[in-house]
């Protein structure tokens, strides 16, 4: 059976990748279209050597700054289906272990490498500062703390898909999975087809109703595992203050706080902070305090039902004022 694409009366034939380098070159050529225009690929010519995982780093890093408040850094592994799950799954398990157990020294090594590569590209360096309003080294440091895994592959067979689900469940860590196919009609004309599981899951979380989410597999513990004790305490303190008035619904990317059927607040728990999101439009409700500040998120992509205002919380002293702000949002909506 052959797979073709028909476009404007022309038939495009699917190309079978023979080598990993072939699919890697396709991903590097089109990653800005597939992932985000606000992203940058850092290739790894030589494996990072660490005490615990001698070959624990994959093919490259992908930095994504669509949301300046929660920048993403992916450790990317590029594979072919023909290499089978017995080869692919152990590597991804090692990568997840690395993200969870990397020492400060190992993280610093990654930070320096990424910063060095971005410095070489003055246009990207300037774009990051312009897009985010932040210093590049600060953005990189935060993204390394939240290092994630991405698998790029030509095709996902059932055995590999099942194995990935088992690893994700056992290690409480999600892997972003992207399947890429290439179709050609000549040496100059090509069509790229891809499947991104994160885009699919994002669409399932956009229904603004707790009833659509309450049976999902994610829990609050899923979001607080592996986080620093003081960050978990911040979340629990806020939760205790609002829990009797809202329905709390954890999803893959965030925790939603619903008033009846309407999400009015959500949060993303990071290693060193919590980012809360509010239904109130930026500056529609202004906190009477200097301990918290609001960020306009209307033109920034994020996975929390696109609530328009963001608040970064790092200190216990900020919680009381955050709750006061929440109360104002609750009354309005």
- For residue 151 the two structure tokens come to 């698998």
CB under 8 Å to 191, separation ≥6 — which residues? 5, 7, 12, 182, 183, 184
Tell me what pLDDT residue 207 has.
47
**CA–CA dist 60, 57 (Å, integer):** 8
Tell me what pLDDT residue 290 has.
79
Residue with tokens 């960050």: 231
**CA–CA dist 211, 261 (Å, integer):** 8
Tell me what pLDDT residue 253 has.
83
**CA–CA dist 204, 325 (Å, integer):** 29
Q: Which parts of the chain have pLDDT scores under 50?
A: 204, 206-207, 214
Measured between alpha carbons, how far apart are the two ends of the chain, in Å? 55
pTM: 0.81
Contacts of 164-168 with C-beta under 8 Å, sequence gap 24+, read 164/89, 164/92, 167/89, 167/92, 167/93, 167/96
**CA–CA dist 325, 287 (Å, integer):** 6
- For residue 35 the two structure tokens come to 């992932």
Helix pair angle (158-171, 85-101), 10° resolution = 20
Distances (CA, A) of 216 to 38, 201, 204, 255, 270: 30, 11, 11, 12, 21
Tell me what pLDDT residue 92 has.
92
Domains of the chain: 4-204 (3.40.91), 210-332 (3.90.1150)
Cα 158 to chain centroid, rounded: 24
**CA–CA dist 232, 303 (Å, integer):** 21
Neighbour tally for 267: CB within 10 Å: 23
The stretches of 172-254 forming alpha helices (DSSP H) are: 197-204, 220-224, 229-242
Residue with tokens 């929390």: 304
Q: % helix / strand / coil in the chain, to the nearest 5?
A: 40, 25, 35
Cα 57 to chain centroid, rounded: 18
Answer for the pair 297, 91: CB distance below 8 angstroms, yes or no.
no
Tell me what pLDDT residue 52 has.
55
Residue with tokens 């709750």: 323
Helix pair angle (319-332, 229-242), 10° resolution = 40
- For residue 241 the two structure tokens come to 């203050």
């Amino acid at each position: 059976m052959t797979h073709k694409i028909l476009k404007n009366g022309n038939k495009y034939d699917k190309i079978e990748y023979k080598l990993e380098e072939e699919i890697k070159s396709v991903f590097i050529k089109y990653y800005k279209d597939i992932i985000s225009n606000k992203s940058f690929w850092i290739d790894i010519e030589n494996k990072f050597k660490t005490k615990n995982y001698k070959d624990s780093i994959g093919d490259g890093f992908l930095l994504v700054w669509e949301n300046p408040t929660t920048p993403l850094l992916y450790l990317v592994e590029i594979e072919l289906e023909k290499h089978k799950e017995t080869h692919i799954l152990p590597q991804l398990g090692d990568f997840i272990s690395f993200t969870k157990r990397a020492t400060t020294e190992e993280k610093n090594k990654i930070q320096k490498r990424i910063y060095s590569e971005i410095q070489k590209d003055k246009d990207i360096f300037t774009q990051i500062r312009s897009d985010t309003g932040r210093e590049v080294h600060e953005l990189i440091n935060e993204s390394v703390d939240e290092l994630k895994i991405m698998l790029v592959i030509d095709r996902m067979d059932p055995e590999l898909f099942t194995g990935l689900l088992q690893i994700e469940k056992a290690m409480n860590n999600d892997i972003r999975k992207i399947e890429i196919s290439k179709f050609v009609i000549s040496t100059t004309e090509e069509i790229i087809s891809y499947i991104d599981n994160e885009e699919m899951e994002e669409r399932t979380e956009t229904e603004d109703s707790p009833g659509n989410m309450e049976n999902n597999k994610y829990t609050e513990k899923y979001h607080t595992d592996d986080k620093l004790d003081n960050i978990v305490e911040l979340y629990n303190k806020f939760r205790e203050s609002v829990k009797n008035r809202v329905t709390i619904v954890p999803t893959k990317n965030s925790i939603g706080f619903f008033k009846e059927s309407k999400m009015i607040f959500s949060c993303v728990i990071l290693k060193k902070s919590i980012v809360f999101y509010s239904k109130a439009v930026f500056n529609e409700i202004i906190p009477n305090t200097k301990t918290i500040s609001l960020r306009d998120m209307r033109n920034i992509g994020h996975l929390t039902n696109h609530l328009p205002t963001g608040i970064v919380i790092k200190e216990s002293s900020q919680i009381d004022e955050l709750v006061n702000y929440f109360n104002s949002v609750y009354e309005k909506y």
